[in-house]
């Protein structure tokens, strides 16, 4: 935190100085910049009001939104004793472009940074310029990768997972696209964040089966962020289709089985009418035998009568 030093005895000069300082700060330059994770951020501080002023006459420093100093160039010399420990060894000053380079950028470095350029007259300091830089950090997600949870056999279901890692900012969504369909598929999207790096990872899963009459499918996994879409490599699925030889073998086997069943039915139906004829013939034979026995018995009963009748006849 820097304080403007003024002459305590110069009341009018102090009033004028404060007026000029407020005027200049209210006219501060504001810019936005973006850096990649583990890359370099450029925090500009263009000296637009230079009037043949040497760097040795100026105090140039950057501070973050917590008022921690990143870098200070004091009257032509780097001053490290004011720099916060988290920024030591991570900055370099480009005098030609009046830009501070912040190296090895992390997600935690996102935020606002102020650059102040002060002139150091014999007494006090005058802020000549302030530049506010809003830094955002991005990390490219890995290419989405589809993995098959099980082999595809016959009409079995297909279980897929898609993952993408180490990205920032937080992704919007992840989904699957299937051949000739504009619908977005995905059963279980999950987003996690690393506690140290603050990078995000995302995954999604899908269970599907081949529709009737469909033998080939192509599946793509898509990840959407605020600024882009990232697609996986297409994954092709082919349902096993029987070869012509196998097809005709199956038909021949089916026809053979059907013919055997028909022949069996014919045999069964042909035998059924003959079965009751056997007991019918047997019953008739028994009945005839019974009648014959009855006729024999009747003749024997008549013999005495025939014998007694013979003398009377003589």
The pLDDT value given to residue 93: 95
Retrieve residue 121's tokens: 């007259």
Structurally, the chain folds into a number of domains equal to 2
Q: Which residues pair with 178 in a beta bridge?
A: 219
Least confident among 49-53, 191-195, 251-255: 49-53
Please, what is the average pLDDT of the chain? Answer: 79
The pLDDT value given to residue 151: 55
Indicate whether 153 and 112 sit together in one domain.
no
Residue 313 lies in a domain: no
Task: Answer whether residue 305 shows pLDDT above 70.
Answer: no
Task: Answer whether residue 240 shows pLDDT above 50.
Answer: yes
Which of 138, 155, 185 terminates a domain? The answer is 138
Which of 216, 238, 260 terminates a domain? The answer is 238
Domain residues for the domain of 108 are 31-138
* Contact criterion met (CB below 8 Å) for 135 and 147: no
Residue 75 lies in a domain: yes
Residue 48 lies in a domain: yes
Task: Answer whether residue 294 shows pLDDT above 60.
Answer: no
Q: How confident is the model at residue 145 (pLDDT cuts 50, 70, 90)?
A: very high
Q: What is the pLDDT of residues 3-34, one digit of tens each?
A: 333 333 333 333 333 333 333 444 578 999 99
Closest-CA residue to 36 (of 139, 113, 135): 139
Q: Is the peptide bond prior to 169 cis by the omega test (within 30 degrees of 0)?
A: yes
Indicate whether 97 and 160 sit together in one domain.
no
Q: Rounded distance, CA 227 to CA 221, Å?
A: 17
Residue 76 lies in a domain: yes
Q: What is the pLDDT of residues 186-239, one digit of tens each?
A: 989 999 999 999 999 999 999 888 777 677 889 999 999 988 999 999 999 887
Task: Answer whether residue 163 shows pLDDT above 70.
Answer: yes
Residue 22 lies in a domain: no
Q: Which residues pair with 129 in a beta bridge?
A: 117
Three-class HEC string of the chain = CCCCCCCCCCHHHHHHHHHHHHHHHHCCEEEEEEEECCCCEEEECCCCCCCCCCHHHEEEEEEECCCCEEEEEECCEECCCCCCHHHCCCEEEECCCCEEEECCCCHHHCEEEEEEEEECCCCCCEEEEEEEEEEEEEECCCCCEEEECCCCCCCCCEEEEEEEEEEECCCCEEEEEECCCCCCECCCCEEEECCCCCCEEEEEEEEECCCCCCCEEEEEEEEECCCCEEECCCEEEECCCCCHHHHHHHHHHHHHHHHHHHHHHHHHHHHHHHCCHHHHHHHHHHHHHHHHHHHHHHHHHHHHHHHHHHHHHC
Select the more confidently predicted residue: 294 or 144: 144
Indicate whether 131 and 48 sit together in one domain.
yes
Indicate whether 188 and 154 sit together in one domain.
yes
The backbone torsions φ and ψ at residue 144, rounded to the nearest 5 degrees and listed phi first, read -55, 140
Indicate whether 168 and 188 sit together in one domain.
yes
Residue 300 lies in a domain: no
The pLDDT value given to residue 73: 93
Indicate whether 76 and 131 sit together in one domain.
yes
Select the more confidently predicted residue: 129 or 113: 113
Residue 251 lies in a domain: no
Give me the CATH number covering residue 234: 2.60.40.10
By residue count, the chain amounts to 314
Which of 98, 120, 138 terminates a domain? The answer is 138
Indicate whether 174 and 90 sit together in one domain.
no
> Do the bridges between strand 69-74 and strand 77-78 make them parallel or antiparallel, or are there none, so unpaired?
antiparallel
Residue 265 lies in a domain: no
The backbone torsions φ and ψ at residue 107, rounded to the nearest 5 degrees and listed phi first, read -60, -35
Indicate whether 151 and 234 sit together in one domain.
yes
Closest-CA residue to 232 (of 216, 246, 221): 221
The pLDDT value given to residue 141: 97
Residue with tokens 């047997």: 282
The pLDDT value given to residue 282: 53
Q: How confident is the model at residue 122 (pLDDT cuts 50, 70, 90)?
A: confident
Task: Answer whether residue 2 shows pLDDT above 80.
Answer: no
Q: What is the pLDDT of residues 80-117, one digit of tens each?
A: 999 999 999 999 999 888 999 999 999 999 999 999 99
> Mean pLDDT over residues 37-41, rounded?
97
- Residue 290 CB partners (closer than 8 Å, separation 6+): none
Indicate whether 98 and 182 sit together in one domain.
no
Select the more confidently predicted residue: 274 or 107: 107
């Amino acid at each position: 935190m820097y304080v403007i030093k003024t002459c305590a005895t110069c009341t009018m000069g102090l009033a004028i100085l404060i007026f000029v300082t407020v005027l200049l700060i209210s006219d501060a330059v504001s810019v936005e910049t973006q850096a990649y994770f583990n890359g370099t951020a450029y925090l500009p501080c263009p000296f637009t009001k230079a009037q043949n002023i040497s760097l040795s006459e100026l105090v140039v420093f950057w501070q973050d939104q917590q008022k921690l100093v990143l870098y200070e160039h004091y009257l032509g010399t780097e001053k490290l004793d004011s720099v916060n420990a988290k920024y030591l060894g991570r900055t370099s000053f480009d005098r030609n472009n009046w830009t501070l380079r912040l190296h090895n950028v992390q997600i935690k470095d996102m935020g606002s940074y102020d650059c102040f350029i002060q002139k150091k007259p014999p007494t006090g300091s005058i802020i000549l310029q302030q530049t506010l830089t809003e830094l955002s950090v991005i990390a490219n997600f890995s290419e989405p990768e589809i993995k098959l949870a099980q082999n595809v056999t016959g009409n079995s279901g297909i279980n897929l997972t898609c993952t993408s890692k180490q990205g920032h900012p937080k992704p919007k969504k992840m989904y699957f696209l299937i051949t000739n369909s504009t619908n977005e598929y995905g059963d279980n999207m999950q987003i996690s964040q690393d506690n140290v790096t603050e990078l995000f990872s995302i995954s999604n899963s899908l269970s599907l089966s081949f529709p009737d009459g469909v033998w080939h499918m192509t599946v793509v996994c898509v990840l959407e962020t605020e600024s882009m879409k990232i697609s996986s490599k297409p994954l092709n699925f082919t349902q096993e289709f029987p070869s012509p030889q196998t097809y005709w073998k199956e038909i021949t086997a089916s026809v053979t089985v059907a013919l055997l069943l028909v022949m069996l039915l014919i045999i069964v139906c042909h035998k059924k009418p003959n079965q009751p004829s056997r007991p019918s013939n047997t019953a008739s034979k028994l009945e005839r035998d019974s009648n014959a026995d009855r006729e024999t018995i009747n003749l024997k009963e008549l013999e005495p009568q025939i014998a007694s009748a013979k003398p009377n006849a003589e």
